Chains A and B, each alone.
Chain A
């Protein structure tokens, strides 16, 4: 008897009729929110606890970097100032003996990366790694006093 299975199959699709559009709506809201990419405001701008004490340059001035402290934890912001010749760059945070992948910088002008609260930022190094060349392009070591 496969009647119950057909019923289950139909119920799954009725469930999907609500679930799938909800996923689409949430994804659209993420695009609208755009905290990681718009660069105009921090995701929790109202909760910003400390302005960046310094802004540094990467790749001979092609990109700037800054570290913000928010209620949600530290956020690393990278802002492209001029187009990169090879735009696909991975961003790592080297701390102690560990290397943590924060994400990718593509063609978008701004990226923000949440830094896990467990990471000790004092003396950590932000490292840009080129996918095209398989080599580290640039690094910046954070202040020892960075919280």
Chain B
């Protein structure tokens, strides 16, 4: 969180996550290289390593892009989201090695500078089968570099979450470029239909997941017709519709708020975590603090402030409970403003 500076705040889960990731990547590379040598004994080892690195990075990119929508559709995928940035940096490292090896292999033996050769050796932009696919990979690598270089929380705090997130949406552009890089490159020479089928299946799966998640999110963001009282409060739901120590999200006043029920009380805060704008309403109340489901940032539900020594604050909303119903004023208070929680009579709660 915001207190002090640590390059990586290691904990058991992060170590386990990274070890699993490293194990999976090394296993893939080993299997690919050994399998290729066995199946194609005449193949050049440089080519095998080059393809092992490239395919590993591309598979990993698919996994990275699938985690977000999977976590939105089913909470059981949330643990994968926790350390996704390390996965992204790993993917970039593999892609960089693939790029450097490709540059050396294909452009390092002429008298033209390899980077110049990359853009001048093939200019058949009018051909589908001979389309210059290497520059597509180069530009994707530049985007991935920008994201990997700014993946640390230092840059997140410096750039602010909205700018940081916009920058990191570049991963979708990078994916499109890589789709072209693979489709117009590797798959033009390796013509087995199964390979093309794999690429299409990966792409369509990602699209389906993201559109399904978007559909679910859109449903939430099109809520309207809340009953309004004379003071401007909106009736959002019944108290008992909110599970104990959990929250519910509502779309009010053009953005989302999260309403939590805990210890016989109800409070409303902004739904966006200050860290990466994670959905606080999908989090839990642990030890009296709202805990973001993405990276565990915590906030006092009554003040919207992180517990000392941390300094993150989110806006709070005035709230009242009348006859078992939750009423929230749609205008946010400044971040960290204390609001009296609504008191509820819960079954079995004194």
Contact = CB atoms under 8 A, between A and B. Distances in A.
A72 interface: yes
Interface string A92-115: 100001111111101010001110
Contacts of A29: 128
B172 A98 contact: no
Given A2-B272, A108-B189, A30 B211 contact: no
Contact of B203 (A6, A24, A30, A99): A24
A131 to B, nearest CB: 5
Interface stretch (A12-20, A55-63, A139-147): A12-20
A16 B191 contact: no
A34 interface: yes
Contacts of B183: 23-24, 26-28, 30
Contacts of A10: 214, 217-218
B176 A30 contact: no
Interface string A17-42: 10111011011111101111100000
Provide the main secondary structure of the chain B interface: helix
A112 B207 CA distance: 35
B175 to A, nearest CB: 8
A9 interface: yes
A102 B122 CA distance: 7
A129 B44 CA distance: 13
B121 interface: yes
B112 A98 contact: yes
Contact of A30 (B44, B106, B166, B188): B188
A136 to B, nearest CB: 9
Contact of B47 (A9, A33, A88): A88
B121 A30 contact: no
A143 B229 CA distance: 91
Contacts of B161: 2
B179 A24 contact: yes
Interface in B156-175: 161-162, 165-166, 169, 172, 175
A132 B218 CA distance: 54
A82 to B, nearest CB: 13
A100 B188 contact: no
B282 interface: no
B264 interface: no
Contacts of B107: 101
B214 A90 contact: no
B196 A129 contact: no
A101 to B, nearest CB: 4
Contacts of A46: none
Interface residues of B, number: 60
A123 interface: no
B256 interface: yes
Contacts of B277: 2, 5
B255 interface: yes
Interface residues of A, number: 57
B287 interface: no
Given A17-B207, A24-B200, A31-B196, A37 B189 contact: yes
B254 interface: yes
A27 B184 contact: yes
Interface in B73-125: 105-107, 109-112, 117, 120-124
Contacts of A16: 172, 176, 207, 210
A1 B255 contact: yes
Given A3-B256, A16-B176, A37 B191 contact: yes
B301 to A, nearest CB: 19
Given A14-B211, A24-B203, A3 B189 contact: no
A92 B111 CA distance: 11
A86 interface: yes
B335 interface: no
B299 interface: no
A85 B112 contact: no
A43 B218 contact: no
Given A2-B165, A30-B128, A87-B43, 9 more contacts: A8-B166, A8-B169, A10-B217, A14-B214, A33-B128, A87-B44, A100-B120, A112-B130, A131-B47
Q: Which 7 A-B pairs have the closest CB atoms?
A: A27-B183, A30-B128, A99-B110, A30-B129, A101-B121, A88-B44, A10-B214
23 contacts: A5-B162, A12-B169, A13-B207, A13-B210, A13-B211, A14-B214, A20-B207, A21-B204, A24-B203, A28-B183, A28-B196, A30-B188, A31-B191, A87-B42, A88-B44, A90-B105, A98-B111, A99-B110, A108-B189, A112-B130, A114-B124, A132-B45, A132-B46
